[in-house]
Structure 1
Amino acid sequence: MKHWKTLQNGINLLILLCLAVLILCPLFMIFARAVIIDGRPDFSYALNIIFNPENLRTITNSLLLGAAVVLVTTILGIPFAYLITRTQLAKHKWIDIVIMIPFMTPPFISSMGFILFMQKNGLLQQLFPFTGRLSESFFSFWGLVLVMSLHVLPFMISILKNAMLNISSSLDEAGQIFGGNFFYRFRRILAPLLSGNYAIGALLVFVKTLSEYGTPATFGTRIGFYVFTTDIHRHSTTSPIDFGKAASLSSVLVLICILMWMLQNTVTARHTYRLVGGKGSRSIQKKLPVFQSILAWGYLLLIFFMSIGIPYFSIIMTSLIKLRGYGLQAGNFTLAHYAALFSANSKGRNAIFTSLFLAFAAAFIASAIGVVIVLTARRKKAAFLSQILEGISLLPEMLPSIVLVIGIMLFWNLLYPVLPLYNTLGIMILTYVVLYLPYAVQYTTSAFIQLGDSLVQAGRTFGGSGFYIFRTITFPLIFRGILTGFMMIFIISFRELVAASMVAPPSTLTVSTFIMREFEQGSVSVGCAMAVICVFLTTGILMALKYVSSKGNGQE
């Protein structure tokens, strides 16, 4: 027994060392690079960078953009969530699937779709020539806010929807009995009960906006609006490279995210109400009059048109156009751009194979590490050391991905003389594993906590070893959670942009960097063809995963 406990502690220390090398050391390198100059601490260098007028403008832009996106997602999300929970529209379950499509779409691809649709002589002007000034005025700060809001809107809607489903309709009926109109009841009953969940959604939207790179890099740079991510990327990849500035801005971004998490926890603690109890609750779907029903459907369809219709129409049509100068005209459509991606010696084909390899390798390794972490940290007699493993593994989810990528670049560049992993495909796989390890841990944990102790105890009673019990009992029962985490990591890694553009070896292209390069070089139709393949491949995999999961649940 003593030897077994010693072995467990050794495994815990080994996992902790692995997580320290993968996550903690890169984070430490960011702060160290920002304040250690010539081998000694010097905070003046970091402060001079932060308070530089240009960098102050970047920080202000980022905070302003985050606040504006939270505002717009709130305005769009609350009516949407109310309609699909409190009216007859709630019976249409397909709405829940469709609203998640913007999340499945890489944000930089959606941004490119809006650019192609709204730019001068773009698709909108070709269809409706009288919209010239209207479409071109879209390229502004609020245009950027709208594009980014439509991408993160599903997060806000999902959180608000789940919160509204837990609020009993009897509370609203009580207010109505005492003469309160709709707006009074919403302000005095529904809004206070939603405040805790709304704080979580607002924080999630704010942090995702601050950490997003694709849309600011495509749409934001077009209007001259620079934020944290674009400046950090520029300082770390464009000559003259200055990791000091990148590290200083990354440190500020991390501190802002930490402060926002603390603020959210405070708000949630003060405004959380126990809405689900032993008495249960009921949610009544109000039947809207004909005119209000038409307005409700019109609102939902408008959201779908803006978040799905415009970007998908733009990307698909542009990928089929033979000569962009002729636009949407009969006879000016071709499949040659798709064929070019798979021709002999095609960089597009190589980019697809590279992305598939990286995504599979990262998903496999992250899933394996996630299983080990969950099995170690979820033991009932786990020591304190075991319990903190899960917390460290979830840390990348709370931090902007570009910050972790900068830390990985600094740390592994320092280790290059000892372990020459930098500038290889190995560093890309390692970066993907660090960024998406939380998915593996969360999905495996979700499956593991549903297991009863009786099954494992039965295996031990009949003399099964620990490995035998894991192989024949535990693993089959948590396999669906592992598979779900694997597929989510595969999908997101396949279309990853920030890490691929920063740590990829020279002349190595992935799907995302290939698309960006084609747009920058003017081969827009070829880039759109690759974008269509990327979107439909990842969306198809996710839909298949949902189908398999639902089928498996039905069989149980």
Structure 2
Amino acid sequence: MRQLSATRKSVLPLIGLLVILGVLIVCPLIMIFAEAVISDGRLDFSGAWAMIADSGNLQTIWNSLRLGLCVVLCSTVIAVPTAYLLARTQLAKRRWLDIIFMIPFMTPPYIASMGWILFMQKRGLFQQLFPSSGSFSEKFFCFGGLVLVMSLHVFPFLMTMMKNAISNIPASLEESGAVFGAGFGRRLRKIFAPLLTGNYAIGALLVFVKTLAEYGTPYTLGRRIGYYVFTTDIHRYSTTAPIDFGRSASLSAVLVAICMGLWLLQNHITDRCSYRLVGGKGSRPAATTLHPAGHLLAWVWAAVVALAAIGIPYFSIISTSLIHLRGYGLTPGNFTFAHYAELFTTPKSLRAIQTSLFLASASAVICSALGTAVVLAARRRKGKLGKAVEAVSLLPEMLPSIVLIIGMMLFWNAIYKTIPLYNTIGIMVLAYVALYLPYTVQYVTSAFAQINDSLMQAGRTFGGSPSYVFCRITLPMIFKGILSGWMMIFIIAFRELVTASLIAPPNVLVVSTYINREFEQGSVSLGMAMAVLCVLITTAALLIMNGLSGRKERKT
């Protein structure tokens, strides 16, 4: 009886967590498919198929797939040479370059695309800097410009993965090829390419999925050139009259199917095309010493990539935020800090900052508590139920955020009479928690995996209660993982655009929607001032987290 009672006690937390996660994540996803295939209380796949087969929706699907493929190709051209230079040449010693090339990832994509628009538009900053160029910069507003901007945001994913893979290839393999007479090109084809195929495929699929799921850049730049994709059409059907949740749900279902298929393909490639190059036997990393001309070209390449990915958008954002009168542009004497002062004196902007801080903090706290509970419960009882809880908590990572938000809109609107949460600030907190819970689960899981079970067993052996063992042994050991997850959620939630644009209550602005609204209404300098403030706040939060982590490590 005691054993049965203990088993029930260990199962009940998992069941409770599964119910919570089901309401947060599973029910909204079910609502999407139900909205797509249920008509008048019965299954009707013909209606969903007719919506998908509509010429406009087929064009959207083709646009999305074409954009994803082109972004993968463009990202490859940028990422692979950069990864090689940072892994094998003299540039590998410049560790600060790794930080520089991660800045595009830390920059919200809609802010970077706004910077490019301000730089390249008619009478924009490029034409002001180079008056003799005429209308050359305006040619940027095309499909190629959209591909370039999106590639400059996602290439760090592929670059980091390829850099780590190239660094793990031991020098002995390349030297063996050279001994047998293979030139650099042949070694590249016969040694490098096969060893890097798996890593490249994983990185390319990740870039493809992120491109399909991206909303900020297609919304700001894609709409400007009339190029509509999954995310912009899903958003348009859900927010613009006449609202059509059926079309939105059908496109969401197609997007989910594509993303899930790509994730399965990624797992297959990982199993079949991965090589273990790091083992117990020591290996000497390979290095290529570039000649002075090659070294110079390497620095030129790095500078061009940094200029395109960081220099141009940040120059545009910062300079625009300081311009007093847009008609005078970059002329001397036309710069002011008045826009920043206005941010801290206008009730609307202050409320937007406060709301973003509240949403980011609240969602980070709830995610930290819920994610830690998921990891502890799943680890304490390893079985199908524990794996199910962990799998459901990680499900949002494999889904485009706009799909889950559409599902939450449908679900919470359907039960509004029972739980009147829809159209309140509470639904925004729930949406952020559902979207970002995987961050806490992953960080805490990583920290928990480093703890030896003997530590907890020793605590229990010496009479420690489960709560005592958790507070004095487990929690201090996983605290760094919880803190890292909290800070990552705070940074991403603070600048979130798609959630706020879809389910924010009327007259409720956050930082991202404030920036977007001011940009669209012509108060560009004020919007860019808020964008600079957004980047400064998230950067400061990241520095504080690193400082706290470093202090804790020094104490231990």
SS of equivalent to 1:226: coil
Stretch moving more, 259-268 or 206-215: 259-268
2:182 counterpart residue number = 180
1:355 counterpart residue number = 356
Q: Is the 8 A contact 2:121 2:138 kept in 1?
A: yes
2:493 counterpart residue number = 493
Distance in 1 separating the partners of 2:165 and 2:547: 25
SS of equivalent to 1:12: helix
Post-superposition Cα deviations, 1:144-166, rounded to whole Å, max 9, x if no partner, equal: 00000000011001111111122
1:270 counterpart residue number = 272
Report the TM-score when normalising by structure 2.
Answer: 0.98
Q: Is the 8 A contact 1:120 1:132 kept in 2?
A: no
1:437 counterpart residue number = 437
Q: Is the 8 A contact 1:377 1:389 kept in 2?
A: yes
Q: Is the 8 A contact 1:376 1:386 kept in 2?
A: yes
Instruction: Give the alignment partner of residue 306 of structure 2, picking from 301, 304, 307.
Output: 304
Q: Report 1:100-111 matches (<5 A).
A: 100-111=102-113
SS of equivalent to 1:241: coil
Question: What amino acid maps onto 2:4 in structure 1?
Answer: K
Give the deviation of 1:184 after TM superposition. 1.4
Distance in 2 separating the partners of 1:35 and 1:51: 14
Post-superposition Cα deviations, 1:74-114, rounded to whole Å, max 9, x if no partner, equal: 11111111111111111111111111111111000000000
Question: What amino acid maps onto 2:456 in structure 1?
Answer: V
Q: Is the 8 A contact 1:200 1:268 kept in 2?
A: yes
1:416 counterpart residue number = 416
SS of equivalent to 1:382: coil
SS of equivalent to 2:30: helix
Distance in 1 separating the partners of 2:424 and 2:196: 48
Q: Is the 8 A contact 1:321 1:328 kept in 2?
A: yes
Distance in 1 separating the partners of 2:453 and 2:199: 33
Q: Is the 8 A contact 2:64 2:212 kept in 1?
A: yes
Give the deviation of 1:418 after TM superposition. 0.4
Give the deviation of 1:553 after TM superposition. 4.1
Distance in 1 separating the partners of 2:186 and 2:131: 45
1:464 counterpart residue number = 464
2:528 counterpart residue number = 528
2:365 counterpart residue number = 364
Q: Report 1:322-337 matches (<5 A).
A: 322-337=324-339
Q: Is the 8 A contact 1:107 1:151 kept in 2?
A: yes
SS of equivalent to 2:81: helix
Distance in 1 separating the partners of 2:279 and 2:458: 34
Give the deviation of 1:372 after TM superposition. 0.3
1:256 counterpart residue number = 258
Post-superposition Cα deviations, 1:159-184, rounded to whole Å, max 9, x if no partner, equal: 11111122111111111122222121
Post-superposition Cα deviations, 1:305-341, rounded to whole Å, max 9, x if no partner, equal: 0000011000000000000000001111111111111
Give the deviation of 1:554 after TM superposition. 5.3
Distance in 2 separating the partners of 1:383 and 1:192: 37
Q: Is the 8 A contact 1:90 1:285 kept in 2?
A: no
Stretch moving more, 319-328 or 265-274: 265-274
CA RMSD of aligned residues (A): 1.1
Give the deviation of 1:455 after TM superposition. 1.3
Q: Is the 8 A contact 2:69 2:208 kept in 1?
A: yes
SS of equivalent to 1:172: helix
1:155 counterpart residue number = 157
1:394 counterpart residue number = 394
Distance in 2 separating the partners of 1:296 and 1:152: 21
In structure 2, do the counterparts of structure 1 residues 71 and 27 end up closer, same or farther at CA, with 3 Å as the change threshold? Answer: same
Instruction: Give the alignment partner of residue 96 of structure 1, picking from 85, 98, 102.
Output: 98
Post-superposition Cα deviations, 1:5-37, rounded to whole Å, max 9, x if no partner, equal: 111111111111111111111111100100001
2:480 counterpart residue number = 480
Instruction: Give the alignment partner of residue 208 of structure 1, picking from 207, 210, 215.
Output: 210
SS of equivalent to 1:130: helix
Q: For this pair of structures, how many residues does the alignment match?
A: 554
Stretch moving more, 450-459 or 422-431: 450-459
Give the deviation of 1:548 after TM superposition. 3.6
Q: Is the 8 A contact 2:423 2:505 kept in 1?
A: yes
SS of equivalent to 1:378: helix
Distance in 2 separating the partners of 1:196 and 1:290: 33
Q: Is the 8 A contact 2:31 2:407 kept in 1?
A: yes
SS of equivalent to 1:464: coil
Distance in 2 separating the partners of 1:192 and 1:548: 42
Q: Is the 8 A contact 2:321 2:528 kept in 1?
A: yes
1:122 counterpart residue number = 124
Instruction: Work out whether 1:41 is the aligned partner of 2:24.
Output: no
Q: Is the 8 A contact 1:515 1:528 kept in 2?
A: yes
Distance in 2 separating the partners of 1:115 and 1:18: 43
Distance in 2 separating the partners of 1:290 and 1:422: 63
Query: Which structure 2 segments of 5+ residues have no match?
Result: none
Q: Report 1:169-248 matches (<5 A).
A: 169-248=171-250
Report the TM-score when normalising by structure 1.
Answer: 0.98
Distance in 2 separating the partners of 1:470 and 1:267: 39
Stretch moving more, 56-65 or 166-175: 166-175
Instruction: Give the alignment partner of residue 15 of structure 2, picking from 3, 13, 16.
Output: 13
Distance in 2 separating the partners of 1:235 and 1:258: 23
Give the deviation of 1:267 after TM superposition. 2.3
Stretch moving more, 175-184 or 154-163: 175-184
Give the deviation of 1:270 after TM superposition. 2.0
In structure 2, do the counterparts of structure 1 residues 533 and 299 end up closer, same or farther at CA, with 3 Å as the change threshold? Answer: same
Distance in 2 separating the partners of 1:329 and 1:502: 39
Distance in 2 separating the partners of 1:259 and 1:134: 41
SS of equivalent to 2:328: coil
Instruction: Work out whether 1:546 is the aligned partner of 2:546.
Output: yes
In structure 2, do the counterparts of structure 1 residues 165 and 182 end up closer, same or farther at CA, with 3 Å as the change threshold? Answer: same
Instruction: Work out whether 1:455 is the aligned partner of 2:455.
Output: yes
Post-superposition Cα deviations, 1:433-455, rounded to whole Å, max 9, x if no partner, equal: 00000000000111111111121
Q: Is the 8 A contact 1:196 1:267 kept in 2?
A: yes
1:55 counterpart residue number = 57
1:290 counterpart residue number = 292
1:427 counterpart residue number = 427
Q: Is the 8 A contact 1:113 1:315 kept in 2?
A: yes
Distance in 1 separating the partners of 2:205 and 2:470: 38
Give the deviation of 1:542 after TM superposition. 1.5
Post-superposition Cα deviations, 1:518-555, rounded to whole Å, max 9, x if no partner, equal: 01111000000000000111122223323443454455
Query: Which structure 1 segments of 5+ residues have no match?
Result: none
1:407 counterpart residue number = 407
Give the deviation of 1:219 after TM superposition. 0.4
Distance in 1 separating the partners of 2:97 and 2:551: 20
In structure 2, do the counterparts of structure 1 residues 95 and 277 end up closer, same or farther at CA, with 3 Å as the change threshold? Answer: same
Distance in 2 separating the partners of 1:347 and 1:529: 14
Distance in 2 separating the partners of 1:497 and 1:174: 52
SS of equivalent to 2:331: coil
SS of equivalent to 1:549: helix
Give the deviation of 1:469 after TM superposition. 0.6
Distance in 2 separating the partners of 1:185 and 1:552: 46
SS of equivalent to 1:394: helix
Q: Is the 8 A contact 1:195 1:268 kept in 2?
A: no
Q: Is the 8 A contact 2:456 2:469 kept in 1?
A: yes
2:148 counterpart residue number = 146
Instruction: Work out whether 1:75 is the aligned partner of 2:65.
Output: no
Q: Is the 8 A contact 2:167 2:286 kept in 1?
A: no
Question: What amino acid maps onto 1:10 in structure 2?
Answer: L
Q: Is the 8 A contact 1:393 1:441 kept in 2?
A: yes
Distance in 2 separating the partners of 1:203 and 1:540: 32
